[in-house]
Amino acid sequence: MSTPEERLYDLSLIEEMAQGDKDFMKEVAETFVSSVPPVVDLLVDYCKKQDWKAMADEAHNLKSNIDTLQISSIRGDIRTIEMNGKQGIDLDVTCHIVDKVAAVLNKVIEQIKEEYGI
């Protein structure tokens, strides 16, 4: 018997805002699933191209999604990426952090798709 996969996110903040409105919850899930992948792709691409300012900007754009969905495993990482990109520091390790954030967000997207049948 397999154990259920650990959910990497927590929708309690959105559930509180939704006040039981399942349609609202699904709409938020669909918006996340459609809007986050292009930003993740840009984040990875800018890191590969060593466009640190653009990378920092995309990290900034992802922060609110990560915070709202309470993806605790990468909350600090996304802030590190933003700060390192803006300050031009520790860039050798920053792309490894970008890869981790991208992998976690892609997994969250898979889990949300499964949960909401998207």
Q: What is the pLDDT of residues 44-63, one digit of tens each?
A: 999 999 999 999 999 999 99
Record the tokens describing residue 69, joined without a space: 């969905």
Residue 8 DSSP label: S
This prediction has a pTM of 0.91
- pLDDT band, residue 3 (cuts 50/70/90): very low
Domains of the chain: 12-116 (1.20.120)
45: phi then psi, degrees, rounded to nearest 5:
-65, -45
Q: How many CB atoms lie within 10 A of CB 90?
A: 12
Q: CA-to-CA distance for 11 and 98, rounded, in angstroms?
A: 23
